[in-house]
Structure 1
Protein backbone atom coordinates (compact mmCIF):
# COMPACT_ATOMS: atom_id res chain seq x y z
CA UNK A 1 0.00 0.00 0.00
CA UNK A 2 2.88 2.39 0.70
CA UNK A 3 4.15 2.06 -2.90
CA UNK A 4 0.66 2.73 -4.25
CA UNK A 5 0.39 5.83 -2.10
CA UNK A 6 3.84 7.04 -3.17
CA UNK A 7 2.86 6.61 -6.81
CA UNK A 8 -0.34 8.58 -6.23
CA UNK A 9 1.62 11.37 -4.56
CA UNK A 10 4.21 11.51 -7.36
CA UNK A 11 1.45 11.99 -9.93
CA UNK A 12 -0.38 14.59 -7.86
CA UNK A 13 2.82 16.51 -7.13
CA UNK A 14 3.84 16.61 -10.81
CA UNK A 15 0.43 17.98 -11.76
CA UNK A 16 0.53 20.61 -9.02
CA UNK A 17 4.03 21.78 -9.94
CA UNK A 18 3.17 21.87 -13.62
CA UNK A 19 0.15 24.05 -12.89
CA UNK A 20 2.33 26.59 -11.11
CA UNK A 21 4.89 26.65 -13.91
CA UNK A 22 2.21 26.95 -16.58
CA UNK A 23 0.92 30.16 -15.01
CA UNK A 24 4.30 31.78 -15.71
CA UNK A 25 4.78 30.46 -19.25
CA UNK A 26 4.97 33.16 -21.91
CA UNK A 27 4.97 35.93 -19.32
CA UNK A 28 7.75 38.38 -18.51
CA UNK A 29 9.13 36.29 -15.65
CA UNK A 30 12.70 37.44 -14.83
CA UNK A 31 15.51 35.07 -15.83
CA UNK A 32 18.60 34.49 -13.68
CA UNK A 33 21.87 32.77 -14.55
CA UNK A 34 23.22 29.94 -12.40
CA UNK A 35 26.49 28.30 -13.47
CA UNK A 36 26.72 29.38 -17.11
CA UNK A 37 25.16 31.35 -19.94
CA UNK A 38 22.71 28.54 -20.72
CA UNK A 39 22.08 27.43 -17.12
CA UNK A 40 19.08 29.58 -16.26
CA UNK A 41 16.44 29.63 -13.54
CA UNK A 42 13.27 31.61 -12.91
CA UNK A 43 10.76 32.25 -10.17
CA UNK A 44 8.60 29.67 -11.93
CA UNK A 45 11.19 26.93 -11.31
CA UNK A 46 11.43 27.75 -7.62
CA UNK A 47 7.72 28.14 -6.98
CA UNK A 48 6.88 24.99 -8.94
CA UNK A 49 9.39 23.02 -6.87
CA UNK A 50 7.96 24.48 -3.67
CA UNK A 51 4.48 23.35 -4.70
CA UNK A 52 5.75 19.87 -5.57
CA UNK A 53 7.45 19.54 -2.19
CA UNK A 54 4.40 20.86 -0.34
CA UNK A 55 2.21 18.31 -2.10
CA UNK A 56 4.55 15.46 -1.25
CA UNK A 57 4.86 16.46 2.39
CA UNK A 58 1.13 16.69 2.89
CA UNK A 59 1.21 12.87 2.81
CA UNK A 60 4.85 12.15 3.67
CA UNK A 61 5.96 14.96 5.99
CA UNK A 62 9.46 13.55 6.48
CA UNK A 63 10.08 12.67 2.82
CA UNK A 64 13.50 13.13 1.28
CA UNK A 65 13.00 15.22 -1.85
CA UNK A 66 15.89 15.43 -4.30
CA UNK A 67 15.52 18.49 -6.51
CA UNK A 68 17.25 20.93 -8.81
CA UNK A 69 16.51 24.23 -7.12
CA UNK A 70 17.49 26.02 -3.92
CA UNK A 71 18.68 23.91 -0.99
CA UNK A 72 17.10 20.57 -1.92
CA UNK A 73 19.32 17.48 -1.64
CA UNK A 74 20.99 16.63 -4.95
CA UNK A 75 21.87 12.96 -4.39
CA UNK A 76 19.42 10.06 -4.49
CA UNK A 77 19.79 7.97 -1.31
CA UNK A 78 20.66 4.31 -1.83
CA UNK A 79 18.54 3.29 1.16
CA UNK A 80 14.92 4.03 1.86
CA UNK A 81 12.25 6.01 0.01
CA UNK A 82 12.62 9.40 -1.66
CA UNK A 83 11.18 11.57 -4.41
CA UNK A 84 13.14 13.11 -7.29
CA UNK A 85 11.82 16.38 -8.73
CA UNK A 86 12.45 18.55 -11.76
CA UNK A 87 10.04 21.50 -11.54
CA UNK A 88 10.76 22.65 -15.10
CA UNK A 89 12.83 20.38 -17.29
CA UNK A 90 13.61 22.51 -20.32
CA UNK A 91 13.93 25.92 -18.69
CA UNK A 92 15.81 27.28 -21.71
CA UNK A 93 12.78 26.39 -23.83
CA UNK A 94 10.47 27.83 -21.17
CA UNK A 95 12.15 31.25 -21.14
CA UNK A 96 12.23 31.36 -24.97
CA UNK A 97 8.48 30.61 -25.17
CA UNK A 98 9.14 27.21 -26.80
CA UNK A 99 6.40 24.75 -25.73
CA UNK A 100 8.66 21.79 -24.96
CA UNK A 101 9.13 21.60 -21.20
CA UNK A 102 7.65 19.63 -18.34
CA UNK A 103 7.44 18.92 -14.65
CA UNK A 104 8.69 15.48 -13.61
CA UNK A 105 8.46 13.62 -10.32
CA UNK A 106 9.71 10.13 -9.54
CA UNK A 107 9.17 8.05 -6.41
CA UNK A 108 12.19 5.88 -5.58
CA UNK A 109 12.96 3.21 -3.03
CA UNK A 110 16.54 2.10 -2.32
CA UNK A 111 17.74 4.15 -5.28
CA UNK A 112 15.41 2.61 -7.87
CA UNK A 113 12.25 4.27 -9.24
CA UNK A 114 8.89 2.71 -8.47
CA UNK A 115 6.68 5.33 -10.13
CA UNK A 116 7.08 8.41 -12.31
CA UNK A 117 5.02 11.22 -13.76
CA UNK A 118 5.95 13.75 -16.44
CA UNK A 119 3.42 16.48 -17.12
CA UNK A 120 3.79 18.70 -20.21
CA UNK A 121 1.48 21.73 -19.78
CA UNK A 122 1.94 23.34 -23.22
CA UNK A 123 0.57 20.24 -24.98
CA UNK A 124 -1.63 18.92 -22.19
CA UNK A 125 0.24 15.62 -22.23
CA UNK A 126 0.97 13.31 -19.30
CA UNK A 127 3.29 10.32 -19.12
CA UNK A 128 2.73 8.16 -16.03
CA UNK A 129 4.56 4.94 -15.13
CA UNK A 130 3.18 2.78 -12.34
CA UNK A 131 1.82 -0.71 -11.74
CA UNK A 132 4.09 -2.24 -14.40
CA UNK A 133 3.00 -0.07 -17.33
CA UNK A 134 3.36 3.40 -18.82
CA UNK A 135 0.32 5.42 -19.83
CA UNK A 136 0.25 8.39 -22.17
CA UNK A 137 -2.78 10.58 -21.55
CA UNK A 138 -4.43 7.67 -19.77
CA UNK A 139 -3.81 5.02 -22.42
CA UNK A 140 -1.20 2.24 -22.12
CA UNK A 141 1.75 2.71 -24.48
CA UNK A 142 4.86 0.80 -25.52
CA UNK A 143 8.11 1.72 -27.17
CA UNK A 144 8.37 1.50 -30.96
CA UNK A 145 9.13 -1.79 -32.70
CA UNK A 146 11.73 -0.48 -35.18
CA UNK A 147 14.90 -2.52 -35.50
CA UNK A 148 16.49 -0.86 -38.54
CA UNK A 149 18.72 2.07 -37.52
CA UNK A 150 18.31 3.59 -40.98
CA UNK A 151 14.57 3.85 -40.34
CA UNK A 152 14.97 5.14 -36.76
CA UNK A 153 15.11 8.63 -35.29
CA UNK A 154 17.14 9.34 -32.16
CA UNK A 155 18.05 12.27 -29.96
CA UNK A 156 21.37 13.27 -28.33
CA UNK A 157 20.31 14.60 -24.94
CA UNK A 158 21.59 16.32 -21.81
CA UNK A 159 23.95 19.26 -22.30
CA UNK A 160 27.55 19.25 -23.45
CA UNK A 161 29.23 22.38 -22.10
CA UNK A 162 31.30 24.69 -24.26
CA UNK A 163 34.42 22.82 -23.18
CA UNK A 164 32.99 19.47 -24.35
CA UNK A 165 31.75 20.30 -27.84
CA UNK A 166 33.95 17.65 -29.47
CA UNK A 167 31.77 15.06 -27.73
CA UNK A 168 28.61 16.85 -28.84
CA UNK A 169 29.87 16.94 -32.43
CA UNK A 170 30.80 13.25 -32.31
CA UNK A 171 27.34 12.40 -30.98
CA UNK A 172 25.64 14.31 -33.79
CA UNK A 173 27.95 12.85 -36.42
CA UNK A 174 27.33 9.33 -35.17
CA UNK A 175 23.57 9.82 -35.44
CA UNK A 176 23.56 11.26 -38.96
CA UNK A 177 25.90 8.53 -40.19
CA UNK A 178 24.05 5.58 -38.64
CA UNK A 179 20.40 6.57 -38.21
CA UNK A 180 17.58 7.97 -40.32
CA UNK A 181 17.41 11.32 -38.56
CA UNK A 182 18.25 13.36 -35.49
CA UNK A 183 16.05 15.33 -33.12
CA UNK A 184 17.02 17.49 -30.16
CA UNK A 185 14.24 18.89 -28.00
CA UNK A 186 15.91 20.73 -25.12
CA UNK A 187 14.14 18.68 -22.45
CA UNK A 188 15.54 15.30 -21.48
CA UNK A 189 12.40 14.27 -19.62
CA UNK A 190 10.12 15.07 -22.56
CA UNK A 191 12.50 13.09 -24.78
CA UNK A 192 12.26 10.07 -22.47
CA UNK A 193 8.49 10.35 -22.75
CA UNK A 194 8.71 10.32 -26.54
CA UNK A 195 10.68 7.07 -26.42
CA UNK A 196 8.25 5.52 -23.95
CA UNK A 197 5.29 6.33 -26.21
CA UNK A 198 7.00 5.15 -29.40
CA UNK A 199 7.25 8.59 -30.99
CA UNK A 200 11.05 8.46 -30.84
CA UNK A 201 13.26 5.38 -31.08
CA UNK A 202 16.10 6.33 -28.73
CA UNK A 203 17.99 9.00 -26.80
CA UNK A 204 21.52 8.96 -25.45
CA UNK A 205 24.39 10.80 -23.83
CA UNK A 206 27.87 9.90 -22.65
CA UNK A 207 27.48 12.35 -19.75
CA UNK A 208 26.45 11.61 -16.21
CA UNK A 209 23.06 13.23 -15.91
CA UNK A 210 21.51 14.80 -12.86
CA UNK A 211 18.89 12.54 -11.27
CA UNK A 212 16.12 15.11 -11.81
CA UNK A 213 16.84 15.00 -15.56
CA UNK A 214 16.79 11.23 -15.87
CA UNK A 215 15.23 9.09 -13.14
CA UNK A 216 11.55 9.64 -13.96
CA UNK A 217 12.14 9.24 -17.68
CA UNK A 218 14.16 6.06 -17.30
CA UNK A 219 11.23 4.51 -15.42
CA UNK A 220 8.77 5.62 -18.11
CA UNK A 221 10.81 3.86 -20.79
CA UNK A 222 11.42 0.67 -18.85
CA UNK A 223 7.79 0.27 -17.92
CA UNK A 224 6.92 0.77 -21.61
CA UNK A 225 9.17 -2.14 -22.58
CA UNK A 226 12.29 -0.19 -23.50
CA UNK A 227 15.91 -0.55 -22.46
CA UNK A 228 18.01 1.87 -20.39
CA UNK A 229 21.73 1.22 -19.85
CA UNK A 230 24.99 2.94 -19.05
CA UNK A 231 27.90 3.18 -21.51
CA UNK A 232 28.92 -0.39 -20.68
CA UNK A 233 25.51 -1.70 -21.63
CA UNK A 234 24.76 -2.48 -17.97
CA UNK A 235 21.72 -1.58 -15.88
CA UNK A 236 21.44 2.20 -15.63
CA UNK A 237 21.16 3.88 -12.22
CA UNK A 238 20.86 7.47 -11.15
CA UNK A 239 24.65 7.61 -10.59
CA UNK A 240 25.71 5.88 -13.82
CA UNK A 241 27.99 7.47 -16.39
CA UNK A 242 26.17 7.84 -19.67
CA UNK A 243 22.56 7.00 -20.40
CA UNK A 244 21.50 5.02 -23.48
CA UNK A 245 17.76 4.67 -23.93
CA UNK A 246 16.01 2.81 -26.71
CA UNK A 247 13.17 0.59 -27.82
CA UNK A 248 15.62 -2.31 -27.50
CA UNK A 249 15.76 -3.04 -31.21
CA UNK A 250 18.37 -0.38 -32.01
CA UNK A 251 20.15 -0.40 -28.68
CA UNK A 252 23.51 -1.82 -29.76
CA UNK A 253 23.87 0.71 -32.57
CA UNK A 254 22.91 3.56 -30.25
CA UNK A 255 25.34 2.32 -27.62
CA UNK A 256 28.12 2.41 -30.22
CA UNK A 257 27.35 6.06 -31.00
CA UNK A 258 27.37 6.97 -27.30
CA UNK A 259 30.76 5.32 -26.90
CA UNK A 260 32.11 7.19 -29.92
CA UNK A 261 30.99 10.46 -28.34
CA UNK A 262 32.72 9.51 -25.11
CA UNK A 263 35.92 8.64 -26.96
CA UNK A 264 36.02 12.18 -28.38
CA UNK A 265 36.95 13.60 -24.98
CA UNK A 266 40.12 11.51 -24.70
Structure 2
Protein backbone atom coordinates (compact mmCIF):
# COMPACT_ATOMS: atom_id res chain seq x y z
CA UNK A 1 0.00 0.00 0.00
CA UNK A 2 1.41 3.42 -0.92
CA UNK A 3 1.62 6.42 1.40
CA UNK A 4 -1.45 8.06 -0.10
CA UNK A 5 -3.50 4.94 0.66
CA UNK A 6 -2.26 5.01 4.27
CA UNK A 7 -3.30 8.65 4.53
CA UNK A 8 -6.73 7.88 3.07
CA UNK A 9 -7.16 5.04 5.56
CA UNK A 10 -6.24 7.28 8.48
CA UNK A 11 -8.64 9.97 7.28
CA UNK A 12 -11.45 7.47 6.95
CA UNK A 13 -10.73 6.16 10.44
CA UNK A 14 -10.79 9.68 11.88
CA UNK A 15 -14.04 10.43 10.08
CA UNK A 16 -15.61 7.22 11.36
CA UNK A 17 -14.50 8.05 14.90
CA UNK A 18 -15.92 11.57 14.69
CA UNK A 19 -19.17 10.27 13.23
CA UNK A 20 -19.51 7.70 16.01
CA UNK A 21 -18.79 10.31 18.69
CA UNK A 22 -21.36 12.67 17.19
CA UNK A 23 -23.98 9.91 17.10
CA UNK A 24 -23.27 8.92 20.70
CA UNK A 25 -23.36 12.56 21.80
CA UNK A 26 -26.82 12.83 20.29
CA UNK A 27 -28.02 9.76 22.18
CA UNK A 28 -26.34 10.99 25.37
CA UNK A 29 -28.18 14.30 25.09
CA UNK A 30 -31.50 12.59 24.40
CA UNK A 31 -31.04 10.18 27.31
CA UNK A 32 -29.99 12.99 29.68
CA UNK A 33 -33.03 15.06 28.73
CA UNK A 34 -35.36 12.08 29.14
CA UNK A 35 -33.92 11.13 32.54
CA UNK A 36 -34.01 14.72 33.75
CA UNK A 37 -37.63 15.08 32.68
CA UNK A 38 -38.61 11.94 34.60
CA UNK A 39 -36.82 13.17 37.72
CA UNK A 40 -38.25 16.66 37.37
CA UNK A 41 -41.74 15.17 37.54
CA UNK A 42 -41.05 14.25 41.18
CA UNK A 43 -39.09 17.36 42.14
CA UNK A 44 -40.51 19.21 45.14
CA UNK A 45 -43.11 16.49 45.55
CA UNK A 46 -43.67 14.43 48.67
CA UNK A 47 -41.63 11.35 47.70
CA UNK A 48 -40.18 8.74 50.09
CA UNK A 49 -36.45 9.00 50.72
CA UNK A 50 -34.28 5.99 51.55
CA UNK A 51 -30.82 6.04 53.10
CA UNK A 52 -27.96 3.95 51.68
CA UNK A 53 -24.47 3.80 53.22
CA UNK A 54 -24.62 7.05 55.24
CA UNK A 55 -27.29 9.43 56.52
CA UNK A 56 -26.46 11.80 53.67
CA UNK A 57 -26.34 9.04 51.01
CA UNK A 58 -29.94 8.98 49.84
CA UNK A 59 -31.99 7.54 47.01
CA UNK A 60 -35.58 7.92 45.82
CA UNK A 61 -37.90 6.16 43.42
CA UNK A 62 -37.26 9.08 41.08
CA UNK A 63 -33.61 7.94 40.81
CA UNK A 64 -34.71 4.44 39.84
CA UNK A 65 -37.41 5.58 37.43
CA UNK A 66 -35.08 8.04 35.71
CA UNK A 67 -32.33 5.43 35.39
CA UNK A 68 -34.75 2.93 33.83
CA UNK A 69 -35.84 5.49 31.22
CA UNK A 70 -32.24 6.48 30.50
CA UNK A 71 -31.29 2.85 29.91
CA UNK A 72 -34.30 2.32 27.63
CA UNK A 73 -33.28 5.38 25.62
CA UNK A 74 -29.68 4.21 25.23
CA UNK A 75 -30.59 0.62 24.42
CA UNK A 76 -33.02 1.73 21.73
CA UNK A 77 -29.92 2.82 19.76
CA UNK A 78 -27.13 0.75 21.32
CA UNK A 79 -28.80 -2.35 22.65
CA UNK A 80 -25.65 -4.43 23.10
CA UNK A 81 -23.66 -1.82 25.04
CA UNK A 82 -22.87 -2.26 28.73
CA UNK A 83 -24.24 0.17 31.33
CA UNK A 84 -22.43 1.48 34.39
CA UNK A 85 -24.94 3.08 36.74
CA UNK A 86 -25.39 4.18 40.32
CA UNK A 87 -28.70 2.47 41.01
CA UNK A 88 -29.95 -1.11 40.85
CA UNK A 89 -27.81 -3.96 39.47
CA UNK A 90 -25.89 -2.15 36.74
CA UNK A 91 -22.09 -2.42 36.50
CA UNK A 92 -20.22 -0.39 39.12
CA UNK A 93 -16.88 -0.01 37.32
CA UNK A 94 -15.93 0.93 33.77
CA UNK A 95 -14.63 -1.92 31.56
CA UNK A 96 -11.31 -1.26 29.84
CA UNK A 97 -12.57 -2.77 26.59
CA UNK A 98 -15.62 -2.21 24.45
CA UNK A 99 -18.39 0.41 24.35
CA UNK A 100 -20.02 1.38 27.65
CA UNK A 101 -22.41 4.02 28.94
CA UNK A 102 -21.87 5.61 32.36
CA UNK A 103 -25.04 7.13 33.80
CA UNK A 104 -26.22 8.99 36.88
CA UNK A 105 -29.99 9.52 36.82
CA UNK A 106 -29.90 12.19 39.55
CA UNK A 107 -26.51 13.56 40.50
CA UNK A 108 -27.15 15.70 43.56
CA UNK A 109 -29.94 13.64 45.12
CA UNK A 110 -29.42 15.41 48.46
CA UNK A 111 -30.21 18.69 46.75
CA UNK A 112 -33.11 17.07 44.91
CA UNK A 113 -34.84 15.84 48.06
CA UNK A 114 -34.36 19.21 49.78
CA UNK A 115 -35.89 21.11 46.89
CA UNK A 116 -32.60 22.70 45.87
CA UNK A 117 -32.30 23.21 42.13
CA UNK A 118 -28.69 22.11 41.59
CA UNK A 119 -28.99 18.52 40.33
CA UNK A 120 -28.70 16.85 36.97
CA UNK A 121 -28.83 13.74 34.85
CA UNK A 122 -25.37 12.87 33.54
CA UNK A 123 -24.53 10.50 30.68
CA UNK A 124 -21.14 9.52 29.24
CA UNK A 125 -20.42 7.28 26.28
CA UNK A 126 -17.14 5.40 26.81
CA UNK A 127 -15.06 3.26 24.48
CA UNK A 128 -12.19 1.12 25.78
CA UNK A 129 -12.23 2.97 29.08
CA UNK A 130 -12.11 6.50 27.61
CA UNK A 131 -15.10 8.85 27.21
CA UNK A 132 -16.01 9.83 23.65
CA UNK A 133 -19.22 11.80 24.28
CA UNK A 134 -21.17 13.21 27.21
CA UNK A 135 -24.23 15.18 28.23
CA UNK A 136 -25.28 16.81 31.49
CA UNK A 137 -28.87 18.06 31.81
CA UNK A 138 -29.75 20.29 34.78
CA UNK A 139 -33.43 21.02 34.14
CA UNK A 140 -34.11 23.31 37.10
CA UNK A 141 -31.18 25.48 36.02
CA UNK A 142 -32.32 25.37 32.39
CA UNK A 143 -28.92 24.08 31.27
CA UNK A 144 -27.88 21.22 29.00
CA UNK A 145 -24.18 20.64 28.30
CA UNK A 146 -23.21 18.36 25.41
CA UNK A 147 -19.81 17.22 24.18
CA UNK A 148 -18.80 14.97 21.28
CA UNK A 149 -15.09 14.51 20.49
CA UNK A 150 -14.40 18.11 19.48
CA UNK A 151 -16.65 20.71 21.12
CA UNK A 152 -18.76 21.48 24.18
CA UNK A 153 -22.01 23.38 23.96
CA UNK A 154 -24.24 24.89 26.63
CA UNK A 155 -27.82 25.16 25.41
CA UNK A 156 -26.52 24.92 21.86
CA UNK A 157 -23.80 27.58 22.14
CA UNK A 158 -20.07 26.72 22.19
CA UNK A 159 -18.36 27.18 25.56
CA UNK A 160 -14.85 26.85 26.95
CA UNK A 161 -13.05 27.00 30.27
CA UNK A 162 -12.19 30.39 31.74
CA UNK A 163 -8.92 32.15 30.96
CA UNK A 164 -8.39 33.48 34.49
CA UNK A 165 -4.79 32.99 35.63
CA UNK A 166 -4.60 34.95 38.88
CA UNK A 167 -5.50 32.52 41.70
CA UNK A 168 -6.84 35.41 43.78
CA UNK A 169 -9.42 36.06 41.06
CA UNK A 170 -10.44 32.40 40.79
CA UNK A 171 -13.19 30.31 42.34
CA UNK A 172 -12.48 26.68 43.22
CA UNK A 173 -14.81 23.88 44.31
CA UNK A 174 -14.17 21.23 46.99
CA UNK A 175 -16.11 18.37 45.45
CA UNK A 176 -17.31 14.84 46.24
CA UNK A 177 -18.12 13.88 49.81
CA UNK A 178 -15.81 13.30 52.72
CA UNK A 179 -17.49 10.84 55.11
CA UNK A 180 -17.94 11.43 58.82
CA UNK A 181 -14.61 9.73 59.50
CA UNK A 182 -12.80 12.06 57.03
CA UNK A 183 -14.01 15.48 58.10
CA UNK A 184 -10.46 16.63 58.83
CA UNK A 185 -9.79 16.22 55.09
CA UNK A 186 -12.96 18.14 54.27
CA UNK A 187 -11.81 20.97 56.53
CA UNK A 188 -8.34 20.84 54.96
CA UNK A 189 -9.89 21.12 51.49
CA UNK A 190 -11.81 24.25 52.43
CA UNK A 191 -8.76 25.77 54.13
CA UNK A 192 -6.46 24.95 51.19
CA UNK A 193 -8.87 26.65 48.79
CA UNK A 194 -9.63 29.81 50.76
CA UNK A 195 -5.93 30.38 51.47
CA UNK A 196 -4.94 30.09 47.79
CA UNK A 197 -7.88 31.36 45.76
CA UNK A 198 -10.36 34.19 45.61
CA UNK A 199 -13.40 32.19 46.66
CA UNK A 200 -14.95 28.77 47.23
CA UNK A 201 -18.18 27.22 45.99
CA UNK A 202 -19.75 23.93 46.96
CA UNK A 203 -23.00 23.24 45.11
CA UNK A 204 -23.76 19.62 45.99
CA UNK A 205 -23.65 18.02 42.53
CA UNK A 206 -20.27 16.93 41.22
CA UNK A 207 -21.41 16.65 37.61
CA UNK A 208 -23.01 20.11 37.62
CA UNK A 209 -19.83 21.57 39.09
CA UNK A 210 -17.64 19.82 36.51
CA UNK A 211 -19.91 21.07 33.72
CA UNK A 212 -19.76 24.61 35.14
CA UNK A 213 -15.96 24.42 35.04
CA UNK A 214 -16.18 23.39 31.38
CA UNK A 215 -18.38 26.42 30.77
CA UNK A 216 -16.08 28.85 32.58
CA UNK A 217 -18.32 29.62 35.57
CA UNK A 218 -15.76 28.25 38.06
CA UNK A 219 -12.04 27.85 37.57
CA UNK A 220 -10.98 24.75 39.48
CA UNK A 221 -12.23 21.70 41.35
CA UNK A 222 -10.46 19.37 43.76
CA UNK A 223 -10.87 16.24 45.85
CA UNK A 224 -8.57 13.51 47.14
CA UNK A 225 -11.47 11.04 47.33
CA UNK A 226 -11.70 8.11 44.92
CA UNK A 227 -14.80 9.16 43.00
CA UNK A 228 -17.39 6.91 41.39
CA UNK A 229 -17.46 6.97 37.57
CA UNK A 230 -21.09 8.07 37.43
CA UNK A 231 -20.15 11.17 39.44
CA UNK A 232 -17.25 12.16 37.20
CA UNK A 233 -16.74 10.70 33.72
CA UNK A 234 -19.24 12.87 31.83
CA UNK A 235 -18.04 16.12 33.39
CA UNK A 236 -14.37 15.24 32.97
CA UNK A 237 -14.95 14.72 29.24
CA UNK A 238 -16.64 18.11 28.97
CA UNK A 239 -13.75 19.87 30.73
CA UNK A 240 -11.11 18.33 28.49
CA UNK A 241 -13.07 19.20 25.35
CA UNK A 242 -13.49 22.76 26.64
CA UNK A 243 -9.72 23.19 26.98
CA UNK A 244 -9.25 22.36 30.65
CA UNK A 245 -6.93 19.99 32.49
CA UNK A 246 -7.93 17.00 34.62
CA UNK A 247 -5.46 14.92 36.63
CA UNK A 248 -5.28 12.78 39.73
CA UNK A 249 -3.80 14.21 42.93
CA UNK A 250 -0.28 13.42 41.70
CA UNK A 251 -0.67 15.36 38.45
CA UNK A 252 -1.03 12.29 36.23
CA UNK A 253 -3.78 12.09 33.63
CA UNK A 254 -7.09 11.27 35.31
CA UNK A 255 -8.89 7.99 34.61
CA UNK A 256 -12.14 6.61 35.92
CA UNK A 257 -10.19 4.57 38.50
CA UNK A 258 -7.79 7.32 39.65
CA UNK A 259 -7.34 8.51 43.22
CA UNK A 260 -8.72 11.98 43.61
CA UNK A 261 -9.71 14.43 40.92
CA UNK A 262 -8.02 17.76 40.21
CA UNK A 263 -9.59 19.82 37.44
CA UNK A 264 -8.94 23.36 36.27
CA UNK A 265 -8.94 25.77 33.39
CA UNK A 266 -5.27 24.82 32.93
CA UNK A 267 -4.00 28.24 33.94
CA UNK A 268 -4.17 27.55 37.69
CA UNK A 269 -3.64 23.81 37.68
CA UNK A 270 -0.41 23.83 39.67
CA UNK A 271 -2.10 25.80 42.45
CA UNK A 272 -5.07 23.41 42.52
CA UNK A 273 -2.64 20.49 42.67
CA UNK A 274 -0.94 22.14 45.65
CA UNK A 275 -4.33 22.26 47.37
CA UNK A 276 -4.86 18.58 46.60
CA UNK A 277 -1.50 17.72 48.13
CA UNK A 278 -2.39 19.63 51.30
CA UNK A 279 -5.62 17.64 51.63
CA UNK A 280 -3.83 14.35 51.06
CA UNK A 281 -1.18 15.22 53.64
CA UNK A 282 -3.94 15.39 56.24
CA UNK A 283 -5.29 12.02 55.04
CA UNK A 284 -1.87 10.44 55.43
CA UNK A 285 -1.14 11.95 58.85
Q: Is 1:218 aligned to residue 255 of structure 2?
A: no
Once residues 224 and 20 of structure 2 are traced to their aligned partners in structure 1, the CA distance between those partners, rounded to angstroms, is 35
Once residues 145 and 274 of structure 2 are traced to their aligned partners in structure 1, the CA distance between those partners, rounded to angstroms, is 28
Once residues 138 and 23 of structure 2 are traced to their aligned partners in structure 1, the CA distance between those partners, rounded to angstroms, is 22
How far is 1:259 from its partner?
1.1
- After superposition, the C-alpha distances for 1:179-218 in whole angstroms (9 at most, x for unaligned) are 1011000000000011011110011100110000000000
Q: Is 1:22 aligned to residue 17 of structure 2?
A: no
| Structure 2, unpaired ranges of 5+ | 1-18
* Equivalences for residues 61-140 of structure 1 within 5 A: 61-140=79-158
Q: 3-state SS of the aligned residue for 2:53?
A: strand
Once residues 3 and 125 of structure 1 are traced to their aligned partners in structure 2, the CA distance between those partners, rounded to angstroms, is 21
Once residues 42 and 26 of structure 2 are traced to their aligned partners in structure 1, the CA distance between those partners, rounded to angstroms, is 25
- Number of equivalences: 266
Give the TM-score normalised by the residue count of structure 2. Answer: 0.92
How far is 1:123 from its partner?
1.5
Give the TM-score normalised by the residue count of structure 1. Answer: 0.99
Once residues 78 and 148 of structure 2 are traced to their aligned partners in structure 1, the CA distance between those partners, rounded to angstroms, is 19
Computing the radius of gyration from Cα coordinates, the structure with the larger value is: 2
| Structure 1, unpaired ranges of 5+ | none
- After superposition, the C-alpha distances for 1:204-245 in whole angstroms (9 at most, x for unaligned) are 100110000000000010000000001111110000001000
